[in-house]
Amino acid sequence: MADTIAQFDKALARCRDIFVKKLTDYGAAWRIMRPESVTDQIFIKATRIRSLETKKVSKVGEGILPEFIAIVNYGIIGLIQLELGFSDKDDLSVDVAVELYDKHMAATRELMIRKNHDYDEAWRGMRVHSYTDIILQKLMRTKQIEDNAGVTLISEGIDANYQDMINYSVFAIIKLTEGDD
């Protein structure tokens, strides 16, 4: 498990670095996005991953790794938007946005640790394309919950689905970058 945590933290650092750089370039322009739009943005990324996994060719030149990183970052954005609600403008400083990112990432990391204990690191025996399919399934669930105005009878909420999508994406990043040192 210690190896998993170290690998997870390394992947998170990579995602966070990109988030901070884009935040510096663009500000928190994503604050105008309603949670449903964040879900759709993640859907675009996951659909592209599945397309590249199936076709085995990218005509844009970027592979699937940047898309999994984007799912992590949009998942955190989604959690922030669920907490704060959307805004009509970029209303967060870089420092506050990063503080919120770190808060939600820490909670998502803790969830991974608890689930990884219970599931006995089953993710290590999975294929990357299975993570993609699970993320797409969680997106379908999230869209249904959003269409139901966030109301569920027995199921976890939107936040739990975002966290699961983030964690499966981090597992994919780990698998795709193993041996890159």
The 10s digit of each residue's pLDDT in 76-89 is 999 999 999 999 99
* Stretch 86-97: mean pLDDT: 96
Lowest mean pLDDT among 11-15, 43-47, 149-153: 149-153
The count of other CB atoms within 10 Å of the CB of residue 52 is 18
pLDDT tens per residue across span 108-136: 999 999 999 999 999 999 999 999 999 99
**What tokens were used for 73?**
């970052």
**Distance, CA of 21 to CA of 39 (rounded, Å):** 22
pTM beyond 0.85: the answer is: yes
Contact 50, 136 (CB under 8 A): yes
Q: Considering only CA atoms, which of 119, 132, 155, 106 is closest in space to residue 53?
A: 132
Tokens 């590249």 locate to 52
**Distance, CA of 116 to CA of 4 (rounded, Å):** 9
